[in-house]
Amino acid sequence: MEWQYSLDKIREMATTFWEAVGATKVFAFQGPMGAGKTTFIRELCAIKGVKDSTGSPTFSIINEYEYIGEGTKKIVYHMDLYRLKNEDEALQAGVEDCLYSGHICLVEWPEKAPGLFPDNTLHISIELLDDKTRRLKIADI
Ligand SMILES: Nc1ncnc2c1ncn2[C@@H]1O[C@H](COP(=O)(O)OP(=O)(O)O)[C@@H](O)[C@H]1O
Ligand SMILES: [Mg+2]
C-alpha cells in the first residue's frame, strides 16, 4: 500500500497507518535523511497518547515512551540506529532486547542492523517527492 501526504495531513496519515497495520509490533522505517521518518514516528506516538516524544532521537539510540492503551500502561520504543556502525554495536546498545520485547518498536535506519529484526517486521519506506510531499509505502500490505 502507498500514500502521499503533506505536513498538514500528517495526523490523518498516521491514523490511517495505525488502522492499516493491525497488531504489528516492529516497524522498520527506511528513507534518506530529511525524508520525515522522525516527524512521522512522533505523530504515530502522539496518536497513541505519548506525551513526551519530543526528545531528539538523533542523540539517543533508544527512546522509551509510555502511553495508556486499553486502560494499562504500555511502552513504545523509538529507535534511531543511524549512529551505529554494525549489528554488534546495536546488540550492545540493547536494540535486540527491545525488538523482541513484545512492545511496539518504531525504528529508523534499520539497514544498520538488518539481521536483528524479527521475521514479522513491517518494512516501510518514506520518500521525498518535493519540499512538502512525502510518499509512504508499506511492503506486503
Ligand atoms: N509531509 C512531510 N512529512 C514529514 N516531514 C515533512 C513533510 N513535509 C516537510 N517535512 C519536513 O521535513 C523534515 C523531516 O525531518 P525528519 O523527520 O527529521 O527526517 P528524518 O528523520 O527522515 O531524517 C522536517 O523538517 C519536516 O518539517
Ligand atoms: Mg530521523
Would you say residue 83 has pLDDT above 60? yes
Task: Find the 109 Cα to ligand 2 centroid distance in Å.
Answer: 8
Q: What percent of the chain has pLDDT over 70?
A: 94
pTM: 0.95
Domain-embedded: residue 112: yes
Task: Find the 10 Cα to ligand 1 centroid distance in Å.
Answer: 10
What is residue 55's predicted lDDT score, i.e. its pLDDT? 61
Q: Which amino acids bring their CB within 6 angstroms of ligand 1?
A: 5-7, 10, 31, 33-40, 108, 132-134
Domain-embedded: residue 108: yes
What is residue 58's predicted lDDT score, i.e. its pLDDT? 54
Q: Look at the chain and report how many structural domains it folds into.
A: 1
Domain-embedded: residue 14: no
| CATH code, 108 | 3.40.50.300
Looking at the CA of residue 132, tell me the nearest atom of ligand 1. 8
Instruction: Based on DSSP, count helices (H) and strands (E) in the chain, helices before strands.
Output: 4, 7
Domain-embedded: residue 41: yes
Domain-embedded: residue 8: no
Domain-embedded: residue 18: no
Helices (H), the chain: 10-21, 37-48, 87-93, 95-99
